[in-house]
Amino acid sequence: MSVLEFRTSKNTSLSNKNLIVPDIRFKLWGKTSDPKKILAIRYQALGDTVATLPYLQSLKHQHPDIELHLLTRKEVSAIPNSIDLFDKVITVGGKRNTIAQFVLTLFKVPYLWWQRYDVVLDLQNHKISNILRKLLAPRAWAEYDKYSPISGSERFRLTMESLGLWKIDIDTNFKINLDAEQLLKRTNWKNNNEIVALNPAGCFPSRNWPLDYYVKFAKMWLDAKPNTQFVLLLLPPLQEKADYIAQALGDSCINLTGKANQAEAFAILQKCKLILTEDSGLMHMAWIQGIPTLALFSSSKKSWSAPQGAWSDCLDSSDLECGPCDLKICKYGDNRCLTRYEPNQVLTRASELLLNR
């Protein structure tokens, strides 16, 4: 480690006995002038990739003259490509195959090397991004802390701030190159109706709130606010869930399951009054845009994954002896950490979230 390389855990100026100090490796810029070109790296997953965006946008809005590039997987590039943020979005194929990702990244090295990046922000910190950063030999760099028991999104911010070049905030003011209203007009949306997103998309059975609870929540919402429609933006494998909710809600449901791509879903969320969501990529797509987000967590670690911002709230299992267990299937077989939250309780929390926004 050179004299200009540090870890935040060894940098006493960033330490505090009462705070958890993230373990971030970085190399300082060391020049009086600002950097001109920055590469941010985040390969996966969709939720984590979009969670970097409000912090990268904060940097770009404060320093519009800096040329900002993003290197990411092709499969999660639709949203970065649909917003007015990056000067270049560079993609790598290979899906989740590590060997394919590595080989395809190596093919990109000559092009990336000739870009002459001043700073590399490694917001992935795995073997491929580590090797790439070393090959690019930037003047300054920082590597994401993957393991500290604080929010992953907060660790993105701290990684970027470790270089001491800027103060980073959550910047939710995204300019999307898609017209959400035009997308919605192709559906059964009634123009004067408010939209609430329902997202029963937790990837494991232990993360699923009962579908009939979503229906009861929606019907109670409609009793108070009849000029509302509920949008479903689920992936095709969740079609059965979507059909169940859509059939129960009738014309009050806009079912776009399997019909909206990532960028379209991102744009439509901007029109939403609220999202009620399980831990998934769509949850991150909502809170980073400042959409009131009520998250239903069970086995997920709130400390790592909960949505950020005063416009977000999270019902989780951290108060229970068995949670957060991180199990795919509830060991009791009843998802008690979620089913204890009745629809009327969730409706109350949602109403409070909107009032306090």
Looking at per-residue confidence, does 215 or 338 come out higher?
215
> pLDDT (tens digit, 9 = 90+) per residue, 237-247?
999 999 999 99
CA distance 51 to 95: 19
Domain final position from 161, 195, 224: 161
Residue 197, CA distances (Å) to 3, 88, 160, 276, 293 in order: 51, 31, 32, 6, 10
> pLDDT (tens digit, 9 = 90+) per residue, 288-331?
999 999 999 988 888 889 999 999 999 988 888 887 888 888 88
Could you tell me if residue 296 is inside a domain?
A: yes
Domain range for 314 is: 180-355
Could you tell me if residue 170 is inside a domain?
A: no
Q: Helices (DSSP H) in 76-210: which residue ranges?
A: 78-82, 98-114, 127-136, 152-161, 180-185
Q: Are residues 153 and 222 in the same domain?
A: no
Report the pLDDT averaged over residues 250-266: 96
Find out whether 118 and 139 touch, Cβ atoms under 8 Å.
yes
Q: DSSP assignment, residue 340?
A: T
Could you tell me if residue 344 is inside a domain?
A: yes
Record the pTM. Answer: 0.92
pLDDT attached to residue 309: 94
Q: Are residues 191 and 308 in the same domain?
A: yes
The CATH number of whichever domain residue 248 belongs to comes to 3.40.50.2000
Domain final position from 161, 190, 209: 161
**Torsions phi, psi of 92, nearest 5?**
-125, 135
pLDDT attached to residue 17: 44
Asked, as a colleague might, if the bond just before 201 is cis with ω within 30 of 0, I would say: no
Report the pLDDT averaged over residues 23-44: 93
Report the pLDDT averaged over residues 5-34: 69
Q: Which two tokens stand for residue 147?
A: 């393991």
- Give SS3 for 211: helix
Number of domains observed in the structure of the chain: 2
Is the pLDDT assigned to residue 12 strictly greater than 70? no
| C-alpha closest to that of 67 among 117, 102, 20 | 117
Domain final position from 133, 161, 189: 161
Q: Are residues 93 and 16 in the same domain?
A: yes
Is the pLDDT assigned to residue 4 strictly greater than 70? no
pLDDT attached to residue 5: 61
DSSP string of 161-194, one letter each residue: HTTSS----------BSS-HHHHHHTTT--TT-E
Which of 5-19, 91-105, 110-124, 156-170 comes out lowest in average pLDDT?
5-19
pLDDT attached to residue 44: 85
